[in-house]
Chain A
Amino acid sequence: MADQKDQKETQQLTGEKANVGLVERAKETAAALKDRALEEAKDYKDPQQTQVWKSIFRVSHQRSDPRNRSLAILSNVFLHLHPAKINRDAVRYQYTWGMGGITFYLFIVLTFTGVLLMFYYHPTKIQAFADILYLEHDVPFGKLLRNMHRWAAHLMVITTWLHMFRVVLTGSYKKPREFNWCVGVVLLVLTLLLSFTGYLLPDDQLGFWAVTVGTNMARATPMFGNEGPFGPQLGLTPYNDVRFGLLGGSIVDANALLRAYIWHCIGIPLVASIFMAVHFWRIRKDGGISGPAPVMLESEMRPPKKK
């Protein structure tokens, strides 16, 4: 019933204003819509008030009050490994030299460039070397990509060593951080192995002979190598010793290339990621970064506690 009434009224209206026409009405509606749109657009001038923004960032960071600054760290998945606050002298470049953080950043750079390189590389004797030539000469920015992967890897070895050197100089491996130092030593070994397994992948003379020299040492492993002390006595030959296991054969060939590739791209990065997670987690659990701590005096030394 109501609908019919409405219809009648509408018909009356249109009848009366027949001369006004559709155009006028459209204009009116458009003007009303425009006003509304302008009104709503005022709200979008502050993107931080939008639903999209609020759904991504769970808290407002716009003001610099202490609570917001803490939440900026605590509620962010990428930053949450940081504490909300740190020792005011620890942000000085001089104390940490930033080497640990730079090492991690280089790991990220290497993962990124490494994944891109994987798109162009086949770990087979027929294609590997040709793929490097292809990368260098045909792939857009391929040369830059390969160079950056190489130099970032070298830089990562350097920063790892300097990080370790700094930790020794500041005595940061001391109680309660002894275990984390050990995790760090494992990470150092993994960094070197990552770099070494990558060395073979271009399948050129440089990598081939470096890996030949390197794995020849494995032949001499005591008890596990066929030329090592007590190896022959335990029945080891070039076809069943530890070197055979590393290379997947008795010479550096197709299987060695494939094994190096898998260790380089999957095996070691996976293990290293786990150790890194423990390393970073332990930094927090062991009380954050070690200093600069107030100096202790010789006169305050206590004899070690007896259990």
Chain B
Amino acid sequence: MESPKPNSRRNKLIGLIVAVVLVGLWVYSVQDWHQIWKIVSAPDNVPIVAMLFLVPFFTWLGVKQAKSNDNLIVELEGDAKLAKTHHRKVEPWRPGWAKELHVWPYLVRVEFLAAVIVTVILYVWSIALNAPLEEPANPNLTMNPSKAPWYFLGLQEMLVYFDPWIAGVVMPSIIMIGLMVFPYVDSNPLGNGYYTLRQRRFAVNMFSWGFLMWILLIVIGTFIRGPGWIWFWPGQTWDHNTVVFDRNRDLHEILGVTPENFANHLSLLPWVRGIFGFLVVSGFFILGGLFFHWLMRKGPFRFSYLISPKRFWAWAKLPDPFELKLLANTSILQYMTFQFFAVSVLLAMPVKLFLRLVFTIKYVWVTPWFNV
């Protein structure tokens, strides 16, 4: 076992205290409870409010089972004889028991029960809460904020960081194709049909990164974006008269590729801008690729590394032998495909979000035909 028991208990306590303090600070800072209630209780926002509870719950349920499988794996790896005799599951089994059950009635009754429960939930939900209906469609009266349905709010929020052709067309297409190639680039033969983190750390983390980012963007789009798609912290009043004096600048302007500096060669400026942006984006892809190459060879990360630079450095420097073995299993095509999707979605999205929200940078690459 890698983590001793008392430590994990202490960590849980610290985590709980931090969470309570953060929630307390937030509650203290809320100025407008009515605004929060209006957002949370909007009927079409109910699903995403539910997701705020469902995603952590099912993550916990999955991780719990992964941990018990991981413990079994460690035990069996250390005991070759037991590995041969054990039935290799955490679920109990005795020699007399059949390994299979009849679908009738043992599965059919579970399905029936599920259908009954879902039906009851739907009835209660439908009786308690009415589907929204606004005024008749009026092209002359723009809704403010005019929001997409909740499941597309992630894409709408992406419009802040990218132009519509990327946020609305290219990104969704890359995400869908990326999801489809996922099984073909994951060359790891382990973890087929059982919960595990230990054997599939990188694959599970990459998917969860994308999934949680998607949920996070929806949460921002639902709870934070108010009239004019302006950022209102939860608890702030959605003031329709709010004006934000946002600096919109492009990366090349900060670095001096401006008309003032090209006064004598203005016709050259678009070319310089274009080449500059191309180099920035290429550099991003190279650095991003190196980042994932570094990350995918690392062993498990522990939060204690954050407070001990020495241990962090040791973790960051040394590759994990098991992860190296997995990497050796991966073909160059699989590796490059993964890198493309990882850098262009999993990394580009948060990096652009950071550049936009923290440094108010709009574009990093400006050309006469498109801007990135």
Q: How far is the CA of A189 from the CA of B172 in the complex (A)?
A: 10
Contacting pair A213 B136 (CB below 8 A): no
Binds A, one of B143-151, B242-250, B251-259, B337-345: B143-151
Distance to closest chain B CB from A191 (angstroms): 9
B194 an interface residue at 8 Å Cβ cutoff? Answer: yes
Contacting pair A158 B183 (CB below 8 A): no
B222 an interface residue at 8 Å Cβ cutoff? Answer: no
Given known contacts A91-B101, A295-B196, A169 and B204 CB-to-CB distance under 8 angstroms: yes
Interface centre among A73, A86, A206 (most CB of B within 10 A): A206
Contact with B along A82-104 (1 / 0, CB 8 A): 11111111111111011001100
Q: How far is the CA of A168 from the CA of B142 in the complex (A)?
A: 41
Using CB atoms and an 8 Å cutoff, list the residues of chain B in contact with chain A: 44, 46-47, 50-51, 54-55, 58, 61-62, 65-66, 69, 72-73, 76-77, 83, 87-89, 91, 93, 97-108, 110-111, 114-115, 118-119, 121-123, 125-127, 129-139, 141-143, 146-152, 155-156, 159, 163-165, 167-170, 176, 179-180, 182-184, 186-196, 199-200, 203-204, 207-208, 211, 322, 325, 328-329, 369-370
Q: Which residues of A contact B192 (CB under 8 A)?
A: 171-172, 174-175, 290-291, 293, 296
**Chain A interface SS verdict (over half):** helix
Given known contacts A129-B136, A182-B180, A209-B146, A147 and B102 CB-to-CB distance under 8 angstroms: no
Contacting pair B103 A298 (CB below 8 A): no
Given known contacts A97-B61, A152-B122, A185 and B179 CB-to-CB distance under 8 angstroms: yes
Interface centre among A154, A221, A299 (most CB of B within 10 A): A154
Contacting pair A158 B47 (CB below 8 A): yes
Contacting pair B193 A170 (CB below 8 A): yes
Contacting pair B183 A94 (CB below 8 A): no
Contact with B along A161-192 (1 / 0, CB 8 A): 11001101111111101100110010011001
Provide a sorted-by-A list of 12 A–B residue pairs whose CB atoms are within 8 angstroms. A70-B102, A73-B108, A87-B100, A133-B133, A144-B127, A169-B195, A172-B193, A175-B192, A209-B142, A216-B164, A299-B77, A304-B329
Given known contacts A169-B195, A205-B136, A220-B164, A144 and B88 CB-to-CB distance under 8 angstroms: no
Contacting pair B169 A213 (CB below 8 A): no
Contacting pair A148 B47 (CB below 8 A): no
Q: Which residues of B contact A279 (CB under 8 A)?
A: none
Q: Which of A85, A151, A212, A298 contacts B190 (CB 8 A)?
A: A298
Given known contacts A218-B168, A229-B165, A251-B139, A105 and B115 CB-to-CB distance under 8 angstroms: yes
Residues facing B in A236-283 (CB within 8 A) are: 251-252
Given known contacts A205-B141, A207-B137, A220 and B168 CB-to-CB distance under 8 angstroms: yes
> Which partner residue on chain A sits nearest B121 by CB separation?
A155
Given known contacts A171-B193, A178-B184, A222 and B101 CB-to-CB distance under 8 angstroms: no
Q: Which of A88, A98, A199 contacts B101 (CB 8 A)?
A: A88
Q: How far is the CA of A69 from the CA of B122 in the complex (A)?
A: 32
Q: Which residues of A contact B184 (CB under 8 A)?
A: 178
Given known contacts A151-B129, A217-B164, A295-B88, A204 and B76 CB-to-CB distance under 8 angstroms: no
Q: Which of B77, B133, B189, B325 contacts A204 (CB 8 A)?
A: B133
Contacting pair B190 A301 (CB below 8 A): yes
Q: Which of B58, B135, B139, B195 contacts A170 (CB 8 A)?
A: B195
A15 an interface residue at 8 Å Cβ cutoff? Answer: no
Given contacts A85-B101, A158-B54, 17 further A-B contacts (CB under 8 A): A69-B104, A82-B103, A85-B100, A87-B99, A94-B65, A148-B123, A149-B131, A150-B131, A155-B121, A168-B204, A209-B142, A225-B165, A252-B137, A295-B76, A295-B196, A298-B73, A304-B189
Contacting pair A203 B137 (CB below 8 A): yes
Q: How far is the CA of A254 from the CA of B326 in the complex (A)?
A: 56
Contacting pair A89 B204 (CB below 8 A): no
Interface residues of A, count at CB 8 A = 109
Q: Which residues of A contact B89 (CB under 8 A)?
A: 89, 292, 294-295
> Which partner residue on chain B sits nearest A189 by CB separation?
B176
Q: Which residues of A contact B125 (CB under 8 A)?
A: 147, 151
Q: How far is the CA of A170 from the CA of B195 in the complex (A)?
A: 4
Distance to closest chain A CB from B361 (angstroms): 20
A123 an interface residue at 8 Å Cβ cutoff? Answer: no
Contacting pair A292 B76 (CB below 8 A): no
Interface centre among B50, B98, B165, B195 (most CB of A within 10 A): B165
Distance to closest chain A CB from B186 (angstroms): 7
Contacting pair B103 A73 (CB below 8 A): yes
Q: How far is the CA of A150 from the CA of B122 in the complex (A)?
A: 10
Q: Which residues of A contact B62 (CB under 8 A)?
A: 165-166, 169-170
Distance to closest chain A CB from B305 (angstroms): 23
Given known contacts A195-B149, A298-B190, A136 and B133 CB-to-CB distance under 8 angstroms: yes
Q: How far is the CA of A233 from the CA of B129 in the complex (A)?
A: 50
Q: Which residues of B contact A88 (CB under 8 A)?
A: 93, 97-101
Q: How far is the CA of A152 from the CA of B47 in the complex (A)?
A: 11
Given known contacts A85-B101, A172-B193, A296-B190, A147 and B131 CB-to-CB distance under 8 angstroms: yes
Contacting pair A205 B149 (CB below 8 A): no
Contacting pair B168 A293 (CB below 8 A): no
Q: How far is the CA of A107 from the CA of B195 in the complex (A)?
A: 28
Q: How far is the CA of A174 from the CA of B194 in the complex (A)?
A: 11
